[in-house]
Amino acid sequence: MNLGNTRPKLIATDLDGTIVHHDGTITTRTLEAFARARDLGVSIWFVTGRPPRWMGEIKDAFGYGNAICCNGAMNYDLLNGNVIEEWAIPDDLLHITIKKLRQAIPGVSFAVESHNFFKREKSYVAMWDAGIDHEGSHQIEEVLSQPILKLLVRCSGHEFTSDEMLEVAQREIGDIVTVTHSSPTASLLEISAKGVSKGETLALMAGRLGFGADDCVTFGDNPNDFSMLEWCGRSYAIGDGHPDARNYAKDVTEPHMEDGVAKIIEKLLDLPA
């Protein structure tokens, strides 16, 4: 394992399946590793597909750090709960995307995210936000009343895997939007504006701090992390994550349930500044 020669200036990590267990817990060892990094002056970034309304537990657990939400579509002030910047899907391309996916993937249904706004079609079975939009709409076009940061696309009957859906979507709409997913088993795609990704936004934020790819370390487990794993000079795929993640990362951690990220950070922090 090549840890590099110097301590990183910025650590960026995905949350779920990377440092947050599937039951929502974060280990003491992980919290202590990040706290030590913060105390040594390392810039900490939580880079996630989550919308802001799911970030309260991260703020409570850590009490510091910066956040990139919605797969890169939002620069979010974690501590104060404010949206700093956001990058929405252009309205015309959003409608084209929905139309093309309806034709290309049988049985598909849609939901949309925009800050704390979540709307879904009646046929879209919400996995995590069931209580936010109780009614649902017949077609998602009926509720596209504000800029949309993320389009969610589901096969609620699990007729196709997320990877199978991604392959179709890349072919049909990959030239007009960014398509990814964060769960191989959820039959769910996550779509952002073209050029918007975790990697693009992280590179922008790091550059503003005067950091390049070689100054940073990233951790991630699923396709929505691949862009930041590929961009970063030192990057780690989670050992029990998506099998393709290691093709984009420079190295691999132990499984997330075994504190894989914390173990790497501990070693990185022992390097000279």
> Domain locations in the chain?
10-86+197-269, 91-193
Beta bridge mates, 123:
none
Superfamily of domain 10-86+197-269: HAD superfamily/HAD-like (3.40.50.1000)
Instruction: Please tell me the total number of residues recorded for the chain in this structure.
Output: 273
Which whole-number Å values give the CA distances from 185 to 90, 226, 230, 263, 265, in the listed order?
A: 29, 18, 23, 27, 29
Region 153-164: mean pLDDT is 91
- Give, rounded to a whole angstrom, the gap between the first and last alpha carbons of the chain: 19
Average pLDDT across the chain, whole number: 95
Q: Average pLDDT of 200-229?
A: 98
Looking at the domain covering 91-193, what would its CATH class be?
A: alpha beta
Q: Using one digit for the tens of pLDDT, what is the confidence trace for 104-143?
A: 999 999 999 988 789 999 999 887 665 567 788 999 999 9
Give yes or no for residue 259 having a pLDDT over 60: yes
Strands laid side by side in the 234-237 sheet: 82-86, 74-77, 66-69, 43-47, 10-13, 216-220, 234-237, 251-252
User: Is the pLDDT score of 84 beyond 80?
Assistant: yes
Residue 63, pLDDT score = 97
pLDDT, position 4:
81
Q: Tell me the three state secondary structure of residue 54.
A: helix
The pLDDT tens digits of the residues spanning 22-77 come to 899 999 999 999 999 999 999 999 999 999 999 999 999 999 999 999 999 999 99
> Measuring CA to CA, which residue among 262, 217, 216 is closest to residue 239?
262
**Would you say 235 and 217 are in contact if contact means Cβ atoms under 8 Å apart?**
yes
Judged against a pLDDT cut of 60, whether residue 196 lies above it is answered with: yes
